[in-house]
Amino acid sequence: MSTNREPEASEDMLESIDELKERLSSMKRMMEERKATGSGSKDLFQGHARSLHGTNMIDGNFLSFVFGGSLVVILSVSVYAFYNLYHAVLKKFPSSHTEL
């Protein structure tokens, strides 16, 4: 039985190799056509970016505003926490003044 499977497997492998060769040659042709028309790989992504450019609501200025606001909130909460911690430590361990 193993002799029957081996030829089938090799035929399937040859068919898949032939399909891969055909795909590779078609991709090469497509790339040559793109180079001939002057559109490179950059245009593939720029075309997509151009179509999304009008609908993109989040830009650099908005992100700067959001991250700046987050930084202000984090800094203010940190200052508030350390201020309360400082006063709690002073309340727990009051300093005794001996100079009077």
Q: What is the pLDDT of residue 5?
A: 59
Residue 99 domain flag: no
Residue 33 domain flag: yes
Q: Based on the fold, state whether residues 24 and 71 are members of the same structural domain.
A: no
Residue 44 domain flag: yes
Q: What is the pLDDT of residue 46?
A: 55
Print the domain residue range for 13.
1-56
Q: Based on the fold, state whether residues 69 and 48 are members of the same structural domain.
A: no
Residue 100 domain flag: no
Q: Based on the fold, state whether residues 23 and 50 are members of the same structural domain.
A: yes
Number of domains in the chain: 2
Cβ atoms of 85 and 93 closer than 8 Å? no
Other beta carbons within 10 Å of 98: 5
Q: Which two tokens stand for residue 90?
A: 């002073």
Read off the pTM.
0.41
Q: Say how far apart CA 39 and CA 52 lie, in whole Å.
A: 19
Q: Based on the fold, state whether residues 51 and 76 are members of the same structural domain.
A: no
Q: Which two tokens stand for residue 48?
A: 């997509």
Q: What is the pLDDT of residue 90?
A: 92
Q: Based on the fold, state whether residues 50 and 85 are members of the same structural domain.
A: no
Q: What is the pLDDT along the chain (100 residues), one digit of tens a residue?
A: 455 556 677 777 878 888 989 999 999 999 998 888 876 555 555 555 555 555 677 888 999 999 999 999 999 999 999 999 999 999 999 888 777 6
Q: Based on the fold, state whether residues 18 and 41 are members of the same structural domain.
A: yes
List of E strands, the chain:
none
Q: Based on the fold, state whether residues 47 and 66 are members of the same structural domain.
A: no
How does DSSP assign 72-85, residue by residue?
HHHHHHHHHHHHHH
